[in-house]
Structure 1
Amino acid sequence: MNILYLSHCAPDLPDKGEKIRVHHFLKRLSKRHRVHLACLCRNLDETKRTQSLDWGLASVYTEVLSPKAALARAAVRYALGRSLAVEYFNSSQMSRYLAAAPWRGEIDAVLVYSAAMAGYADVEVPLVLDLCDLDSEKWFEYDRLRRLPLLYGIEGRRLRRFERSACERAKATILMTENEASLVREAIPGARIEIIANGVDFGYWQPAAAADGPPSIAFVGQLDYFPNSDGAEWFAREVFPAMRAGWPELEFVIAGRNPGRQVNELASLPGVRVIASPADVRPILAAATAVVAPLRLARGLQNKVLEALAMGKRVLTTPQVARTFGGVLPRGVDVCEGPEQWLAACKAAPFEPQPEIREALRQVYDWDAAANRLISIMENAKPLTSM
């Protein structure tokens, strides 16, 4: 079967939330079928690594997307009534490449990662949309938490129209969780919905002994992503001071790429440390008494939660993150609201990794099982005349 895989991000390394899924799915899909990849990269290093993947891909097209140029282009088109998120990833260069590709007529089905890439897919070819989550809902939530609510509300409505069109056209729309599927069923009744959660790389995220040090709680994430920076700042200013009053030795460690000024300033607060772009977050997680995911805005599936659980750590989180798992929370997750609950859960967390947390997670979040489900969906999307 010939598949065109369109991705808004590079699959080179599973080192960022959005890249984890395409990395693992593409690696497994290419073992079973002939896959042509077309993706957008953030820099030349991503391009080089993607072009060097040894997964037997039929062809690889990469294009470096300049954030400044893409945002400027999207802003102009937003003023003309289009979706900012969609136009950010709209490249005429990629469109020309796909239109002229010599294998274009051989494609049996197109797999699109994120709604914004659906515009590249040939309308004559069956489409499978790996939506993951309903991104327009995030913009509506930004409307509540951020300044310029009018801008976010308008973008939410525009993106929702685009998502509706893509979902209604797709043979299957894939979501990460039942929570996201419920949102899509309500917003886009015509969508044909499938649910495939992410897996976890259990070989990489293994329990480890911690070095000696003061008791700590850790938050790890991409720190230039608003839900993460907002959660870190809210927790450091509104929750952690009360926790530290009840446990004076406790530290709050914030670690991740690209912390902005507001996140870096948190390091001036008593007991708070900010570690920018650590080479490896696993020692930070291993050293923590517990891991926190203090997000006030959460969509899709929180890989940071799964990775900490795979290391056998307890994860303390908000009701907003808990809702993304639907009615069944993974073992080892504690939902906290007031500072007293956060502190009590932290004090109750065993310092040593808990094997039962890791093993319970392994039963549900498996990349091979997830990829097999995706492969089945792709094979069912293939026209009968092509079999």
Structure 2
Amino acid sequence: MRIMFVTPAIRWPLQSGGDIRQWHTLRALQECSELDVIVFQPSNVPLPEDLYSHCRNVFTLDGDLLRFSAGYSRQYSSTVGRYQLALGRLKPFEFLGSVDQQQRRWFSELVEREKYQAVWISKAATAMCLGWHDPRKTVLDGDDFDSVREYFLLRNSPWYGAKAANYLNVIKLKAWEYYLPSRFAYLARCSEADRRRVPRHNVVVIPNGTEIPASAPSKEFYGPPRVLFVGSLGYQPNAQGLDWFLQLVWPLIRQDCPEATLDIVGGGADPATYNAYSQHGVRAHGFVEDLQPFWQSASVSIAPLLAGGGTRLKIIESLAQMTPVVTTTIGAYGLDLTRDQGVFCENSPVKYAEQVSRLLTNREHAEARTRVGFTEVSDKYDWDSIRRKMQELVKKVAAH
């Protein structure tokens, strides 16, 4: 079986939920087929060749093609220009990457010449850049709903001159997301809740997951109780939610637990950004390859999201590391996990702080909940079983 996988660049070491999902897709397809890959790799970032060493052919395209062209960028940066883009273009901003007709012809001819039995494309913007739609042999991994993420980001941000243009863009984005299933053999979403947003016969659920340890990890508590935030701060919903937590929630936690500390782990922002909080038990570490020491010592993790789409890998990973997590309703969206399994949802700063403080001071209660949660994520969100779902889907496409 011969398959083509088309993906945005996968950063190595893996730095975000998108990188992790794309990497596991690559692994799944490598295991079941003779695989060719097209990577939209930024020109200033070397291709991690070891990542693709088991692929038959690897083609690279300029990753900047997935971004606004220089002309669109200038237009978008002004209020008037943004309204012109919103009103004068059929496609939403997210799909206005550079159009290269020669590249589109090359891709179409490659698929025709090589006679791939299936094509798997990661992200709708990637398919749009290639001008590709194929209702017979192509799986589009739509992952999450960009319109949901953008709507909540707008709702939680102050007013600015072009905000109405961005709201109009959300409407267009939602319309395109509704239309996507008709353009591909299958459209993958990462939760049942997302599938129900566009309940077509060819919309399937491929969840996000985590690596499940062979047995429940043991904790090594030492020193003051520790709260842990893990996430890419280059992802706007993470940065927005962490700011909300630091400004409105963390001071309340420190009133209840003056000795509590907060570790912020994730790339995408200069750790010095959080120096102002360093006198209040906050330590920013930037990107860290080995998270295990942080998970072992954390009493509770947080996912204070006010916006976002899809499902949060950090919540699943937290339970796999026997760490209860406090999040919001939006943060827990799409995950079939409850308080009984160690996922606590609170939306107000006061309630959020109370729940974190309660878990910091009652470790026995937290451990009982997370032990149930560990079993649940082992059953539902193990990447090994998710990769098998990917393989079953691509084999189904190839058989037709």
Q: Smaller-chain TM-score range?
A: 0.7 to 0.9
Say how many residue pairs are matched: 378
- Which 10-residue stretch deviates more, 118-127 or 293-302? 118-127
Change (3 A) 1:155 1:349: farther
Change (3 A) 1:293 1:205: farther
Distance 2:225 2:261 in 1: 6
Contact in 1 for aligned 2:300/2:360 (Cα 8 Å): yes
2:160 is aligned with 1:144? no
Aligned to 1:342: 356
Aligned to 1:131: 142
Tell me which amino acid in the other structure corresponds to 2:376: A
Tell me which amino acid in the other structure corresponds to 1:322: A
Please point out which of 342, 349, 363 is paired with 1:332.
342
2:168 is aligned with 1:154? yes
2:110 is aligned with 1:101? yes
SS in 2 for 1:131: strand
Aligned to 1:118: 127
Change (3 A) 1:321 1:90: farther
2:195 is aligned with 1:197? no
Gaps of 5+ in 1: none
Cα RMSD over matched residues?
A: 3.2
Aligned to 1:237: 247
- 1:82-138 CA distances to partner (integer Å, 9 max, x unpaired)? 322112375657535424538644122221211112232354752212111111222
1:191 to partner: Cα distance: 6.0
1:218 to partner: Cα distance: 1.0
Distance 1:329 1:352 in 2: 12
- Which 10-residue stretch deviates more, 132-141 or 322-331? 322-331
Contact in 1 for aligned 2:338/2:344 (Cα 8 Å): no
Tell me which amino acid in the other structure corresponds to 1:48: L
Tell me which amino acid in the other structure corresponds to 2:123: S
Distance 1:27 1:243 in 2: 42
- 1:38-58 CA distances to partner (integer Å, 9 max, x unpaired)? 12234655x431x33355322
2:186 is aligned with 1:172? yes
Tell me which amino acid in the other structure corresponds to 1:310: A
Change (3 A) 1:139 1:52: same
- 1:307-351 CA distances to partner (integer Å, 9 max, x unpaired)? 221111111111221233157678222223412233223322348
SS in 2 for 1:117: helix
Aligned to 1:48: 47
Distance 2:202 2:146 in 1: 17
Change (3 A) 1:103 1:313: same
- 1:334-372 CA distances to partner (integer Å, 9 max, x unpaired)? 223412233223322348796554333211112232122
- Which 10-residue stretch deviates more, 109-118 or 343-352? 343-352
1:159 to partner: Cα distance: 2.2
Contact in 2 for aligned 1:7/1:39 (Cα 8 Å): yes
Counterparts of 1:309-324 in structure 2 under 5 Å? 309-324=319-334
**Which of 1 and 2 has higher RCO (CA within 8 Å, sep 6+)?**
2
Change (3 A) 1:352 1:377: closer
Please point out which of 274, 292, 313 is paired with 1:303.
313
Distance 1:321 1:195 in 2: 19
Aligned to 2:386: 370
1:285 to partner: Cα distance: 2.6
TM-score normalised by the chain length of structure 1: 0.85
Change (3 A) 1:368 1:209: closer
Change (3 A) 1:164 1:335: closer
Contact in 2 for aligned 1:322/1:329 (Cα 8 Å): no
Aligned to 2:195: 181
1:268 to partner: Cα distance: 4.8
Aligned to 1:10: 10
2:60 is aligned with 1:62? yes
Aligned to 1:33: 33
Tell me which amino acid in the other structure corresponds to 2:168: I
Change (3 A) 1:31 1:19: same
Aligned to 1:361: 377
Contact in 2 for aligned 1:315/1:333 (Cα 8 Å): yes
Contact in 2 for aligned 1:233/1:263 (Cα 8 Å): no
Distance 2:280 2:145 in 1: 38
- Which 10-residue stretch deviates more, 216-225 or 347-356? 347-356
Tell me which amino acid in the other structure corresponds to 1:239: V
